[in-house]
Amino acid sequence: MIRISVDLPQRTYDVLVGRGAVTALAGLLPGGVRKVAIVTQPGIEVPLDPGVATTRVEIASGEQAKSIRSVEELCRDFARAGLSRHDAVVAVGGGVVSDVAGFASACYLRGIAYVNVATTLLAQVDAAVGGKTGVNLPEGKNLVGAFWQPAGVICDIETLASLPDREWASGRGEMAKCAFLERFPGEGRPGAALAEKDLAEQVAYCVSLKAAVVEEDEREGGRRMLLNYGHTLAHALEAVSLAGGPVDLRHGEAVAVGLMFAAQLARRMGRIDDERVGEHRAVLDAFGLRGDLPGGLQVDELVQYMARDKKARHDLTFVLDGPKGVEPVRGVALSDVVAVLEDMGCSR
């Protein structure tokens, strides 16, 4: 089993990666916990033994569950179960579960401990680690939330065995993002070679990358923005889907499209060349991902959602590749964004 520490000034915790990691759950709970609320979704069955009394609570499946109403319902469930400030929540599932249960944990009694047991590839390589919790609004993705670090994270590879193909693709979209980032200055970026590693090694690389970034910038004031590479367009695509638009993409699938868009935008701005754009295509190919936009999308709608991105300061802000590597770029010209979207098949 691989153990990765996330060392923060006020909360240090371990992420356990490997087969059978769920057996270590009790050791990740803070001392003094007497009750645990296990938050999960219908159909998710993972054998857990936290060593204390448990109450199982389910939220609905799908992105629609990422709502303020779900958080309210969970907090009421916690109250009915008699959870005190010294008890804990165990979130068992994918990114939706970790986001919603984590936010509810941050709110209930002004904050109680929670542990993430990530059962999807997407959650293991991204959502379960780093303490970003939150829910959606009709106006956009993840617009309401809190930074609330877990007490521990379990990434048991065995829980991924029954994942459908598209859930694998969703996780690989986040892995593809990590292929363009380096954990430590001067270490270099793995590129398509990341796709050739053993699954546990892939997950561990992504977790250790995120841990290094979060340790430096817990609240996304600087370097942590790099973890949003490909996400500005991805979140816009997901927002269109939530509004009933012509998009059927899982999160990581949308990130793959966003990575290709970001590469082409960076090339148009003179930040990278055609060869570097080709490297983006090669990474997506290595992970079996597509980078083309779905049909039927409108430029103005996508731009409207991208302007609401959390990185933006009343401008268009993107994380883009360049001579110094991937970095946030503010004040990107609308004309460049529109031109790239049109080149990718979007209409006005």
Query: 66, 210, 280, 311: which one is catalytic?
Result: 210
**Pairing state between β 318-320 and 327-329:** antiparallel
Residue ranges of the alpha helices (H) in the chain?
25-28, 68-80, 95-107, 121-122, 165-178, 199-216, 231-242, 251-268, 274-286, 299-306, 334-343
Query: 66, 141, 172, 235: which one is catalytic?
Result: 235
Answer yes or no: are the C-beta atoms of 212 and 183 closer than 8 Å. Answer: yes
**Is 231 a residue of the active site?**
yes
**Is 251 a residue of the active site?**
yes
H or E, element range at 6: strand 2-7
Query: 141, 251, 267, 280: which one is catalytic?
Result: 251
Query: 66, 116, 174, 311: which one is catalytic?
Result: 174
**Is 142 a residue of the active site?**
no
Query: 132, 250, 267, 280: which one is catalytic?
Result: 132
**Is 228 a residue of the active site?**
yes
Query: 220, 238, 253, 279: which one is catalytic?
Result: 220
H or E, element range at 336: helix 334-343
**Is 63 a residue of the active site?**
no
Query: 66, 172, 177, 224: which one is catalytic?
Result: 224
Q: Which amino acid is at 313?
A: R
**Is 210 a residue of the active site?**
yes
**Is 66 a residue of the active site?**
no
Place of tokens 């919603």: 100
| CA gap 99, 135 in Å, rounded | 7
Give me the count of residues in the chain: 348
**Is 280 a residue of the active site?**
no
Question: What residues act catalytically?
Answer: 110, 132, 174, 210, 220, 224, 228, 231, 235, 251
